[in-house]
Amino acid sequence: MKTNRILLAHGAGGRLTNELIKRVFRKKFLNPELAPMDDGAVLKSAAGNRDIVFTTDSFVVDPLFFPGGDIGKLAVCGTVNDLAMMGAKPYALTIAAIIEEGLDISVLEKVADSIMKSAREAGVKIVAGDTKVVERGKADKLFLTSSGVGFRDKKIRVSGSNARPGDSVLINGAIAEHGMAVVTARNDFKLKAEISSDCAPLGKLVQKMIRVTKGISVLRDPTRGGLATTLNEIASSSNAGIIVDEKQIPIKKQVESVCNILGFDPLYVANEGKLVAMVPENQSSRILSAMKKEKHGKASQLIGKVVKSPKGVWLRTRSGGLRPLVMLEGEQLPRIC
């Protein structure tokens, strides 16, 4: 799709998002730290055995509050998880708020309480921030931007370009809960479903995985664009193939039912408390065991394997055949995070 104007689909995290980043931001900003296009940048440290990892993220979710979370919890977890997906231990965050004139201060207080509660759970501090107010109609109640810093051992080489044939593909639980929780909270479809967002900080889970081995190849959180799009990004960056087993991908029945009713493919629905890991096959059992001992990893599962060929991402269906899983093309769910 060739266009000179921004579409909602440019924010979906799929093919158009990737094309926009390459066309504008990567082209203008390219440097060695940005080049890997991972969830954060590794800033080499001259002292000690740790590097600095830095990331930033913005949050425009609608509605502000939804089952299992809110924009404040989302900002903390989203930023902490981007640091964790780099193999870093999150240390500190900043929060900037763009507030629409007329917002009730009690709403802002509720969001701030959620930010602090989530930060305590994640083990990080809020160390700086900024506040801007715009006129009525110039924003939608409240937007947040968060940046984060963490530290990782110099021996860790986690990157989306590091998937190797033979690696096992792991996930820490059921998919598509966040997207479906936000959709049902909007009430556009008048559905009554008890679905809660999986929004959660994953830093402590990742640190347990790293204690097993520093040789983890890839860590990614499948947020916008869902599991299928994230796997496509990894396969493309690594020039590899990934085969995942439909029978092994965990999806809760109620989430699957709502997806079926609304015509959504859960493989492309956003998650906010899930990670995908590519790990050496000979370490996968130990890593999986460690994951299952952590709060946010109890439902961890082996779902596939990295292969030399065929390239791209493939789903082994319940009938045993292979079908391609391509990157998300359009916008399934706007304003999801």
Query: Do 83 and 205 belong together in one domain?
Result: no
Report the C-alpha gap between 161 and 33 in whole angstroms.
14
Query: Do 115 and 181 belong together in one domain?
Result: no
pLDDT of amino acid 47 = 66
| Higher local confidence (pLDDT), 255 or 193 | 255
| Token pair in block for residue 240 | 């590899």
Report yes or no on 115 lying in a domain.
Answer: yes
CB atoms under 10 Å from CB of 141, counted, come to 18
Mean pLDDT lowest for which of 130-134, 188-192, 219-223? 188-192
- Cα 231 vs. chain centroid, distance in angstroms? 12
Query: Do 79 and 222 belong together in one domain?
Result: no
Report the C-alpha gap between 230 and 266 in whole angstroms.
13
Burial class (CB in 10 A: 0-12, 13-18, 19+), 295: exposed
Query: Do 91 and 140 belong together in one domain?
Result: yes
pLDDT tens sequence across 121-161: 999 999 999 999 999 999 999 999 999 999 999 999 999 99
Give residue 190's pLDDT band: very low, low, confident or very high (50, 70, 90).
confident
Report the C-alpha gap between 265 and 256 in whole angstroms.
9
pTM of the model: 0.95
pLDDT of amino acid 2 = 72
CATH number of the domain at 93, please. 3.30.1330.10
Query: Do 252 and 198 belong together in one domain?
Result: yes
Q: Which of 125, 153, 181 is the C-terminal boundary of a domain?
A: 153
pLDDT of amino acid 138 = 95
Query: Do 101 and 199 belong together in one domain?
Result: no
Percent of the chain with pLDDT over 90: 88
pLDDT tens sequence across 68-93: 999 999 999 999 999 999 999 999 99
Report yes or no on 332 lying in a domain.
Answer: no
Mean pLDDT lowest for which of 43-47, 94-98, 157-161, 261-265? 43-47
- The mean per-residue pLDDT over the stretch 241-248 comes to 98
Report yes or no on 246 lying in a domain.
Answer: yes
Runs of H (alpha helix) within the chain = 15-20, 27-29, 71-84, 105-122, 177-186, 203-212, 226-238, 253-262, 284-292
Q: Which domain holds residue 54?
A: 8-153
Q: Output Rg (C-alpha) for the chain, integer angstroms.
A: 19
Report yes or no on 331 lying in a domain.
Answer: no
Domains in the chain: how many in total? Answer: 2
| Higher local confidence (pLDDT), 77 or 193 | 77
Report yes or no on 175 lying in a domain.
Answer: yes
Residues 334, 225 contacting (CB under 8 angstroms): no
